[in-house]
Amino acid sequence: MIDFTLTSEQKALQQVAREFAQDVLKPIVREADAEPDPQKGFQMIKPAYEKAYELGFAMCFLPKEYGGGGVSNVDLLIAAEEITAVDPGFGCVLLVNGLALLPLVWFGKEEQRKKWLTLACNDPKKSFLAGWVVSEPAGSPGGTANFDHPSPQAGIQVTADLKNGEYVINGRKYWPSSAAGWDMQGADVSVVVVRTDRQKGGKGGLSCIIVPRGTPGVTYEPCIDTMGHRLNQNCDIRYDNVRVPEENVFALGEGDLVISKAFTWSGPVAGIAGVGVARTAYEYALNWAKTYTAGGLDPIIYHQNVGYMLTDVAMKIEAARYLSWKAAAYADSYDCENYSLGAMSKIFGGETAMQCVYDCMRVVGINSYDRRSHPFDKLMRDVLCFPIYDAGNMGMQRRKIWGMLAHPSFNPRSFVDHELVEFTREMEGIGSVTARPGAA
């Protein structure tokens, strides 16, 4: 049955998340966002994170058997919208725990799951952080968008060589969230995507390695100073002959599949984050329009242009929310095999949110440019991140959908029929091989 009605349990979850966001998180957001030092700003949210951990939000997506919440993807989105409506950077800190640890659920060995997931879900300090370490600095080669390129000289270049029962890691990662930890000495655990076979391309050459906090040879450079999402820490990490035991490796030769599935799971969450920010802008602009006259006799909501613009914003927010819900429900049905719908919801939610925030600024007018009196400075800085983070829309996400649509087996009615669309390695790599004009 198609039903958009929240159950009593979902309404209770929504209320707890809303109260946390408004009463615990919101009072610290403005000062933390304004802190010039990004690491100090990140540290300022630690009390709120500890409360989120206590309430179960930090590890709610992990299985109950290890101490997690075992929530559905739909339920996760209900809570995430309330939190990201206050601050999407804080929401990203929670999201990254899932990006790092869910690959262990999908690809890890049981002994790895028991060890690391149990630790993550039962931290007496309530401050456990997991780092999801994939992205690399721009360069030639560099970046991460072409992680599935057939050449071993392209894509991910941090290497891990097996020597005497240990993997030796060398290279540099750039942009990973939370990996430097609260004290710049490392997250409690990081899952690092590395090249374990220097002779193979992205399909077959990549793997995942668990790197615990305190592992020698890992250096954390000063955090990246970002425009928005400033409550989310972004790292610059160097690995110099970092040694981890062979038992810490999982998804050997399948790192490409880990990347694809992790950023598929996170797609609807990123989409609903866009909804949360757009909702905040819309509610503010609507209230403004109902009370501000712009020098006229009546509030500007009675001007047709304002009314139509806010009507369009409201419609776009609803559409983005329900596409995210659809993608999450599909993920719940098929063990997070929602590759196209996950990417669609992420793309549509983020790009729609950008337009919504801008249109709300147009409604408020020049006053929206006053950063001290109105919230749009932060809203716009935050919303600009959505199309370019979390496997960027022009990098991985659109290419993932393209690869599936181009495959001979694709059924264009599969989504309306709620049928499983299996993602295979044949769908990877599309668009990664290009030709320069005039090249032989």
The DSSP line for 21-84 is IIIIIHHHHHHHHH-SSHHHHHHHTHHHHHHHHHHT-TTTTS-GGGT-----HHHHHHHHHHHH
Res 439: pLDDT = 64
Burial 106-140, CB ≥16 within 10 A → b, else e: bbbeeebbebbbebbbebeeeebbbbbbbbbeeee
Res 1: pLDDT = 64
Asked if 333 and 414 count as a contact pair (C-beta separation under 8 A), the reply is no
Res 140: pLDDT = 66
Q: Which run of H or of E encompasses 156?
A: none
Alpha helices (H) in 253-370, listed in sequence order: 255-291, 304-333, 339-364
Burial class (CB in 10 A: 0-12, 13-18, 19+), 413: exposed
Q: What would the CATH number be for the domain defined by 130-253?
A: 2.40.110.10
Encoding tokens for residue 431? 């668009």
Question: Within its chain, how far is the Cα of 209 from the centroid?
Answer: 20
- pTM strictly above 0.75: yes
Give phi and psi for 22, each to the nearest 5.
Answer: -80, -40
The residues spanned by each domain of the chain are 8-121, 130-253, 256-427
Integer angstrom CA distances of residue 107 from 1, 190, 238, 270: 32, 15, 26, 23
Give phi and psi for 287, each to the nearest 5.
Answer: -65, -40
Q: Topology of 8-121 in CATH? A: Butyryl-Coa Dehydrogenase, subunit A; domain 1 (1.10.540)
CATH architecture of the domain covering 256-427: Up-down Bundle (1.20)
Encoding tokens for residue 269? 């969450």
**Grouped pLDDT means (10 residues each) for the chain, 440 residues:** 90 98 98 98 98 98 98 98 98 98 98 98 98 91 86 95 98 97 98 98 97 98 97 98 98 98 98 98 98 96 98 98 97 96 98 98 97 96 97 93 96 94 94 81
